[in-house]
Amino acid sequence: MTNSLLDAPTTGSSQRSAASERLRGTMAAARLAFTWLGVRKSLTAEQKNQAADSFGAEGKFLSAGKKLLDTSHPAFKAVTAIKGRCQCYWRAVSLPYPEPGIRLIRQQSINEFDNQIASFRIELTEAVEQLDLRYAELRSAARNRLGDLFNPSDYPASLIGLFAIEHDYPSIEPPSYLRQLNPELYEQECQRMQARFDEAVQLAEHAFTEEMSKLVEHLGERLSGDGDGRAKVFRDTAVTNLTEFFERFRTLNVRSNEQLDDLVNRAQHVLGGVEPQQLRDSTSLRQRLVTQLAGVQSSLDGLMIDRPRRNILRRPQ
């Protein structure tokens, strides 16, 4: 795979160790953060007591809140959609790292990542401006829906500046000055960082294996039919999501597991050149793919079961 992140693998534990070293040398930590208007607020103690009375309960044992704005409004959904697309993009171009809020991106992709996040930021600014134009309408609707629970002080004068996308590249390496100040501590920090990259390799393996398993299982289920030889209704994405996965795997593959590499190659060979409409039109093609994908799925299941015990200690964001 010429576009692969890492070179050809070695074997066994040395394969993972080599992958960890190369991962550390070719990736950068990227952190994505959002400033987002909260639209839910807890009821006051008095309001909870009033609500509890209707059930014959005690207010201190009741948890209750109110929704300040209708998030299903098209203008609000447009803002929320940008956040979702930004998060999806971040995950699609990066690998997990065992620290919450941090993922690893290719160093050579930093400029592209910067530009894309800047584009999302511009989209968000424009969408929030449109939402702010409808803010009085949304606040009026909330007054009608909430009744006595409506409190004007819950609502800012404007929504401008209350939504934001931020990103940075935090250092995850030991500070160089520590080498001179305390060589022993510096070495300990280096070992700790290397252990995190070892774990990052395993996190990447797990993420790729789990995602591929779900995609293969879904496509196989869609193609298997209901026993009458006819395929179930399926969207093109059942196929295209897998082909997009192959491309992402080729770009970000940590090349730490030969079995996983082989399974991806097998699945890619099975689907090579197949278009969704062909699967709808040809019963024999569907049956052939169902059989071949079942073999891939079985191997993936075994790979997930046989993962080393020293693996996912934390689930990063």
Q: What is the pLDDT along the chain (317 residues), one digit of tens a residue?
A: 344 444 444 445 777 888 898 898 999 999 999 999 999 988 888 877 777 777 777 767 777 788 999 999 999 999 999 999 999 999 999 999 999 889 999 999 999 999 999 999 999 999 999 999 999 999 999 999 999 899 999 999 999 999 999 999 999 989 889 988 999 999 999 999 999 999 999 999 999 999 999 999 999 988 887 655 566 778 899 999 999 999 999 999 888 889 999 999 999 999 988 999 998 888 899 889 999 999 999 999 888 875 554 444 444 44
Phi, psi at residue 101, to the nearest 5°?
A: 85, 0
Question: What is the reported pTM?
Answer: 0.82
Spans of all domains in the chain: 29-168, 177-305
CB-CB neighbours of 232 under 10 Å: 11
Contact 266, 228 (CB under 8 A): no
What is the Cα–Cα distance from 24 to 13, expressed in whole angstroms?
17
Query: What is the identity of the amino acid at 285?
Result: L
Pairing of strands 27-35, 164-168: antiparallel
How distant, in Å, are the alpha carbons of 165, 254, 258 from that of 101? 13, 20, 29
